[in-house]
Amino acid sequence: MKKGAEARKSLEQGVNKVADLIASTMGPGGRNVIIQYRGNPFVTNDGATIAKNIILKDETEDLAAQAFIKTSLRTNDMVGDGTTACIVIAQRIIKSIFTKLKEEEHLVSPQSNLLNFYRQIQSDKKKVLEMLRKQAKQIKTKEDLEKVAITSLENEEWGKIVAGIAWQVGKDGYVGVDEHFTNKIETEVIDGMKFHGTYITELLANTPRKEAIIEDPLIVVTSHAIESQAQLKELADLMLKTYKTNELVLIANGYDKPSLAPEFCAVNRMKGVFNLLAVKAPSLDEDELGDVALYTGAKYFDKKKGIILTPPEKEDFGRAKKIVVDRDNVFIVSGRGNKKDIQKRIADLRKEQEAEPVENFRNKIKQRIASLSSGVGIIKVATNTNVETKYLKDKFDDAVCACKAALEEGVVKGGGLAFKEIADKMPKSILASALRSCYDQIQENAGGKLEIKADIIDPAKVLRIALENACSAAGIMITANGTIAEKRESIELEDLSKLLKAKDNARV
């Protein structure tokens, strides 16, 4: 246990060890980090990947590091990029405040107040976000989007590939990055469907982007709420015993809490007994769920029409090549529904749209048409080695997320210039100083002579989320006045490996 100045010293040391390593990867002059993961090395300059694999030897410093990392990683979870910027800004805030506190340690009545610092940062943050919003320019052409992808990948050819497919599927589409076995990058756009929904528990996610991905599953679609765990068990038993498969996606309006559905699905998946990806889509009405059933070829257990959810026959299941579920959306890739029936539904919906006098209802029908007729983009990457392929896949993932963020909220000047220019317009303050840190770090990594050209741009959404989470991460550190950490006798390399493995399992 530590408190006061002693606790703050350990907190700052833990934050600095994390931030100094990750900051060294920033910008075109940034360096890579080699990480040993499950006995194998891989190379990356992705801030989120590095942060997830950090464990510090000192217990209190590690406590600070993990709290700092956890909050900063929200940026990557939300937009798939920006973790490094978040960490660099947060470190500068924390360092500035702790320096002021050290300068006043000898005073009988210190003038600095941590809560006042916190309130001032929150107030300044609101002003910065408004200025950032005004700076943002919307993406209007594919060439604009190419600038975003090229900045992210630091490679013109690859940037054009990513931007091309992201532009083709649009801001509401899905672009996945897969590994394959030819030594070149390939892309394709295939049939796909998107709707608002999510998994019932994050424990079902199985990728770093917090996605739950399941290949070639059987699919059940119902507007009935799942009311008991017995219903789930009955489905699981049916799949295992009758249909000899353990891959099932259940898409329902909702799940009652007493059903313990999250626990049932997560425990069976972790044990490898049964992979039931339970998806909730409470925002979909009966007609929209009917579209999902039609697209996958599933029988629709429609509560509105009195079709009771009973143990499905073989022909009642829908099929798809792949289903990807994140915190906000569900993407169904290559549903096996009858193409003629789908095209007929789209044609009928277009007639409804033309005849509908109410704008809100017309927009709803338009969304249904888009959902049934949209595409899914796939980028396939490969290199000569597994280590290099993983590195490249991470880079392409970041670029895809950057393109999506840019399409949603526009772009601003890159290379740290957007925040630097905002800071130049603000009165001198802790946050204004912290806003310059990204620009300063990029210049330092590049030897201090980097010219940032006009075509270097960043997605405004990534910077917004990075700043919000940086202020949150800093707030946790500066308002702490004590620490309690579990004592570790000693940590050898083998012990560190076990800790990292435990940490990885906890994330899954």
Tens-place pLDDT, residues 395-407 = 898 899 999 999 9
**Separation between Cα atoms, residue 94 and residue 18, nearest integer Å:** 13
Q: How far is CA 291 from CA 8, 276, 370, 379, in A?
A: 56, 22, 11, 27
Closest CA relative to residue 367, chosen from 310, 329, 397: 329
User: What pLDDT band is residue 481 in, cutting at 50, 70 and 90?
Assistant: confident
What is the three-class DSSP state of 14?
Answer: helix
Instruction: State the first-to-last Cα distance of the chain, in angstroms, to the nearest integer.
Output: 30
What does the pLDDT average to over 71-84?
Answer: 90
Residues whose CB is less than 8 angstroms from the CB of residue 222 and which lie 6 or more positions away in sequence, other chains included:
250, 251, 252, 253, 289, 300, 301, 302, 303, 309
**Separation between Cα atoms, residue 412 and residue 70, nearest integer Å:** 27
* Residue bearing the bigger pLDDT, 493 or 279: 279
For the segment 415-440, what is each residue's pLDDT rounded down to a tens digit? 999 999 999 999 999 999 999 999 99
Q: Are strands 329-335 and 318-325 parallel, antiparallel or unpaired?
A: antiparallel
Q: Which of 293-297, 409-413, 482-486 has the lowest mean pLDDT?
A: 482-486
* Residue bearing the bigger pLDDT, 228 or 322: 322
Contact 456, 35 (CB under 8 A): no
* Residue bearing the bigger pLDDT, 208 or 473: 473
pLDDT at 316 over 60: yes
Max CA separation in the chain (angstroms): 81
- Give the percent of the chain with pLDDT over 70: 93
Contact 139, 171 (CB under 8 A): no
Contact 182, 381 (CB under 8 A): no
* Residue bearing the bigger pLDDT, 484 or 178: 484
What does the pLDDT average to over 99-120?
Answer: 76
pLDDT at 261 over 50: yes
What does the pLDDT average to over 433-458?
Answer: 92
* Residue bearing the bigger pLDDT, 339 or 178: 339
What is the per-residue pLDDT for 299? 94
Residues whose CB is less than 8 angstroms from the CB of residue 413 and which lie 6 or more positions away in sequence, other chains included:
135, 421, 452, 454, 456, 457, 458
pLDDT at 91 over 90: yes
What is the per-residue pLDDT for 21? 96
* Residue bearing the bigger pLDDT, 425 or 174: 425
DSSP state for residue 203 in the 8-state scheme: G
Contact 72, 470 (CB under 8 A): yes
What is the per-residue pLDDT for 493? 44
**Separation between Cα atoms, residue 279 and residue 146, nearest integer Å:** 34
**Separation between Cα atoms, residue 50 and residue 69, nearest integer Å:** 10
Could you give the angle at the alpha carbon of 153 between the alpha carbons of 152 and 154, nearest 5°? 95
Domain residue extents for the chain: 2-137+411-507, 145-185+382-409, 189-373
For the segment 7-19, what is each residue's pLDDT rounded down to a tens digit? 889 999 999 999 9
Q: Which of 85-94, 144-153, 361-370 has the lowest mean pLDDT?
A: 361-370
Amino acid occupying residue 273: V
pLDDT at 136 over 80: yes
Where are the extended beta strands (E) located within 33-117?
Answer: 33-37, 40-44
pLDDT at 388 over 80: no
What does the pLDDT average to over 96-111?
Answer: 76
What is the per-residue pLDDT for 376? 79
Q: Which of 27-31, 75-79, 217-221, 247-251 has the lowest mean pLDDT?
A: 75-79
What does the pLDDT average to over 276-301?
Answer: 92
What class does CATH assign to 189-373?
A: alpha beta
CATH of 145-185+382-409, picked from 3.40.50.2300, 3.30.260.10, 3.90.1150.10, 3.40.50.720, is 3.30.260.10
What is the per-residue pLDDT for 508? 33
Q: Which CATH number is associated with domain 2-137+411-507?
A: 1.10.560.10
